[in-house]
Homo-oligomer: A and B are copies of this chain.
Amino acid sequence: MSDEIAENGTANGDVPEIELIIKASTIDGRRKGACLFCQEYFMDLYLLAELKTISLKVTTVDMQKPPPDFRTNFEATHPPILIDNGLAILENEKIERHIMKSVPGGHNLFVQDKEVASLIENLYSKLKLVLVRKDEQKSAALRAHLGRIDGLLERRGTRFLTGDTMCCFDCELMPRLQHIRVAGKYFVDFEIPTSFRALWRYMYHMYQLDAFTQSCPADQDIINHYKLQQALKMKKHEELETPTFTTSIPIDVSENSNAE
């Protein structure tokens, strides 16, 4: 299906092999794409593979030219797709539930923490608003939200959101922070303030982790992801327009004036 396959953990039959199919880059089909849910589940499973409760196989699929066997099996379904013991799980929420309930070790990732859950849940939609509206008000709202996350990290003093080990919330937050950092800077010159020291420290620790660096798309892929979204949005807008034909003339050139 793809030539990029990452293997982790032991594959000697002691532990189940889990396959995660992720979207490829829209620039180079051999690279990882900038799909947030793909990266989130990649990180979840990578952590489990490091703990050797599973063996992980990651397959990259170029959706611009999916291989025939992918189209046969999954038709129009987009990654992420999780395959466990011949069972394909296609929906994000079901993948998350499967990792939590059925993948060995998974339950350890799913910490109960209402404060963190509600703190991070609407962050990403604020980036989208910044990219669409491109006004300072939306940038300020995103900055304020990041400030609240900085405040929680500062107050708790832990390396990660819920403690000194990673949990599902970190796998959810960090890919989004990276999109905010890279796309925010590129499209609207948005920067995460350096005064958010606890947040930067958090990101610093993430940048040291294989689970993050192995799953992270290149900056160009993140940027191109939003460029394509904008191009599609423009196109959609135009599809709704009634076609017009510019054939008016700004000066008087009727037959009479022609004969003058």
Contacts and interface: CB of A to CB of B under 8 A. Distances in A.
A26 to B, nearest CB: 8
Interface in A1-51: 26-28, 31
A68 interface: no
B227 A243 contact: no
A192 to B, nearest CB: 8
B204 A245 contact: no
Interface in A181-203: 181-182, 194, 197, 200-201, 203
Interface string A221-251: 1011001100100110011010111110111
B243 A234 contact: no
Interface centre among A235, A238, A258 (most CB of B within 10 A): A238
Interface string A207-225: 1000001001011110110
Given A182-B246, A213-B247, A243-B31, A220 B200 contact: no
The secondary-structure label for the interface of chain A is helix
Contacts of A223: 238
A76 interface: no
Contacts of A243: 28, 31, 218-221
B246 A181 contact: yes
A243 B26 CA distance: 13
Nearest to A216: B245
B231 A244 contact: no
Contacts of A213: 245, 247
A197 B247 contact: no
A27 to B, nearest CB: 5
B27 A235 contact: yes
Contacts of A245: 213, 216, 218-219
A178 B249 CA distance: 12
22 contacts: A27-B235, A27-B238, A28-B239, A28-B243, A31-B243, A197-B253, A201-B253, A201-B258, A204-B254, A207-B249, A213-B245, A213-B247, A216-B247, A218-B243, A218-B244, A218-B245, A219-B243, A219-B246, A221-B243, A223-B238, A224-B238, A227-B234
Given A27-B235, A227-B234, 12 more contacts: A26-B235, A27-B239, A194-B250, A200-B250, A203-B249, A204-B253, A213-B245, A213-B247, A218-B245, A220-B243, A224-B238, A231-B231
